[in-house]
Amino acid sequence: MLAEYWPVLLFIAVAAGMGIVLVTLGLLVGPRRPESDKLSPYECGFEAFEDARMQFDVRYYLLAILFIIFDLEIAFLFPWAVVFQHIGIVALIEMGLFLLLLVIGFAYVWKKGALEWE
């Protein structure tokens, strides 16, 4: 039984060994020249100017959630398109209803102003 898993275990051991060796080599051979510019916080192309616990506008989260919802729903179309010739007219009607609900949801979000920035 162990013979069947030997290639996988060997691959994991070699990958872990290479990772450890490369990190160790980087620590031993790499230059270490800490400067104030390198050690200062830097994000998004400008210096950090506020506390890390500053509050974000809830619209960022709302927009991110809406993007995830609509992006994942559209991803359901790819497997459906692959087997389209084999599933028949019932699946075509079901996908049409699915897309109709998706469009209605998008229109609702748009009408409520969730996509608007003031």
Segment 47-105, tens digit of pLDDT: 566 666 777 777 888 888 888 888 888 888 888 888 888 888 888 898 899 999 989 99
**3-class state of residue 42 by DSSP:** strand
- CA atoms of 24 and 15, how far apart (whole Å): 14
- CA atoms of 15 and 21, how far apart (whole Å): 10
Residue pair 114/66 in contact by the 8 Å Cβ criterion: yes
> 3-state DSSP helix/strand/coil percent for the chain, to nearest 5?
70, 5, 25
- Give the pLDDT band (50/70/90) at residue 13: very high
pTM as predicted? 0.49
CB atoms near residue 63 (< 10 Å): 15
Give me the pLDDT at residue 26, please.
Answer: 94
Instruction: Give the domains, in start order, of the chain with CATH numbers.
Output: 2-112 (1.20.58.1610)
- CA atoms of 70 and 64, how far apart (whole Å): 10
Percent of all residues in the chain with a pLDDT value above 70, rounded to a whole number: 89
Q: Is the pLDDT of residue 45 over 70?
A: no
Q: Is the pLDDT of residue 44 over 80?
A: no
Mean pLDDT over each residue of the chain, to the nearest integer:
85
